[in-house]
């Protein structure tokens, strides 16, 4: 990897479903008492493309990825999902990720850390309650003039986040979001004939010990300059309060789209047709097999080193 916002602050009724604690509560003013309706709010940016906005809290990342994959394949609408944290520490690899190259599999197995292979490209991350996820799933004509290719989509998203991080040293460097030269946001994409998805894992904070589950990748961005995970990463909390980040992201989205706040159930019910997600949890046997391959490669390398 929730809080389902039917409205927030001046938007009206706020209903929260907390996946961490299973509670349901309601707060905020009633729409009618504020003198406007949900329909008026949804159409106030008339002329902008419609973006369905789903806000969650503590939603399991595997379920989120399954939902995103279905929305990409089985929906024709535009969607933005903001998930404030996920339940348990989980490693998420890109579609072509190889566990033996990316993970300290012995530690992963010993500590029973779940490993997911998602349906999009990109690198490997470990996510938990300190990760904030933001996903855009759009039709190819949702953003005027935007060509549905990786770099134009990255450039568009960075301009949107420039509004969120105004006044900081925020940059898009290669495929990462950084403050200065330290990464705090990793991106992944998938592009189909008529739609695209761009999702980001933002490090609000991170557990130093969790970084030990990840190997130093063979392919790294040039600006990393052989730095360790700890020297390469930074926390979003150093720059902005968590809720402020989420609110500013929502405000930035509203400058580009006419937003319609949706509950999770509405999102799921909008899907038609059957599609079996390719995102899945790797089995213990798969990880053990990968560990065996890694061990054999290590032994072979030692033999070659001795021979040389």
- pLDDT tens-digit readout, 133-146: 999 999 999 999 99
Instruction: Specify the CATH number for the domain of residue 158.
Output: 3.30.930.10
1 in any annotated domain: no
pLDDT in tens, the chain (308 residues): 433 333 333 333 333 334 443 444 444 444 334 333 333 344 455 678 999 999 999 999 999 999 999 999 999 999 999 999 999 999 999 999 999 999 999 999 999 999 999 999 999 999 999 999 999 999 999 999 999 999 999 999 999 999 999 999 999 999 999 999 999 999 999 999 999 999 999 999 999 999 999 998 888 899 999 899 999 999 999 999 999 999 999 999 999 999 999 999 999 999 987 888 999 999 999 999 998 876 555 544 544 454 45
What global pTM score does this model have? Answer: 0.81
**Tally of structural domains, the chain:** 1
Structure tokens at 22: 């299973």
4 in any annotated domain: no
264 in any annotated domain: yes
> Could you tell me if 53 and 261 are in contact, meaning their C-beta atoms sit under 8 angstroms apart?
yes
Output the pLDDT for position 151: 96
125 in any annotated domain: yes
238 in any annotated domain: yes
Rg (CA), the chain: 20
Q: Assign 192 to helix, strand or coil.
A: coil
Structure tokens at 64: 């989120």
3 in any annotated domain: no
What's the rounded Cα separation, in Å, for the pair 176 and 203? 12
Best CA proximity match to 247, nearest among 129, 138, 132, 125: 132
256 in any annotated domain: yes
Question: Which residue segment(s) compose the domain that 62 sits in?
Answer: 9-307
2 in any annotated domain: no
DSSP string covering 19-59 = TTTTEEEEES--HHHHT--HHHHHTTTBTBPEEEEEEEES-
């Amino acid at each position: 990897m929730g809080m389902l916002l039917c409205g927030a602050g001046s938007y009206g009724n706020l209903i929260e479903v907390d996946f961490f604690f299973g509670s349901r509560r309601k707060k905020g003013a009633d729409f009618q008492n504020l003198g406007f309706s949900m329909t008026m709010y949804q159409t106030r940016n008339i002329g902008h493309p419609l973006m369905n906005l789903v806000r969650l809290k503590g939603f399991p990342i595997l379920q989120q990825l399954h939902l995103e994959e279905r929305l990409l394949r089985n929906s024709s609408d535009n969607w933005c999902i903001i998930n404030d944290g996920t339940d348990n520490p989980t490693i998420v690899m890109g579609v072509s990720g190889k566990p033996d190259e990316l993970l300290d599999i012995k530690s992963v197995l010993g500590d029973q850390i779940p490993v997911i292979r998602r349906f999009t490209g990109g690198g490997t991350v470990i996510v938990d309650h300190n990760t904030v996820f933001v996903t855009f799933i759009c039709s190819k004509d949702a953003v005027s003039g935007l060509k549905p290719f990786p770099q134009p989509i990255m450039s568009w998203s960075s301009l949107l986040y420039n509004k969120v991080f105004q006044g900081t040293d925020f940059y898009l460097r290669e495929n990462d979001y950084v403050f200065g030269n330290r990464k705090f946001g990793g991106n992944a994409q998938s592009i189909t004939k008529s739609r695209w998805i761009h999702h980001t894992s933002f490090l609000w904070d991170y557990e130093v010990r969790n970084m030990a589950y990840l190997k130093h990748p063979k392919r790294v961005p040039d600006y990393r300059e052989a730095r360790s995970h700890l020297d390469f990463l930074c926390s979003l909390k150093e720059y902005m309060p968590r809720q402020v980040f989420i609110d500013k992201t929502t405000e930035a989205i509203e400058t580009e789209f006419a937003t319609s706040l949706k509950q999770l159930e509405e999102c799921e019910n909008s899907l038609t047709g059957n599609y079996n997600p390719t995102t899945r949890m790797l089995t213990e046997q798969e990880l053990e097999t990968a560990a065996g391959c890694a061990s054999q490669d290590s032994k072979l390398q030692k033999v070659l080193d001795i021979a040389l």
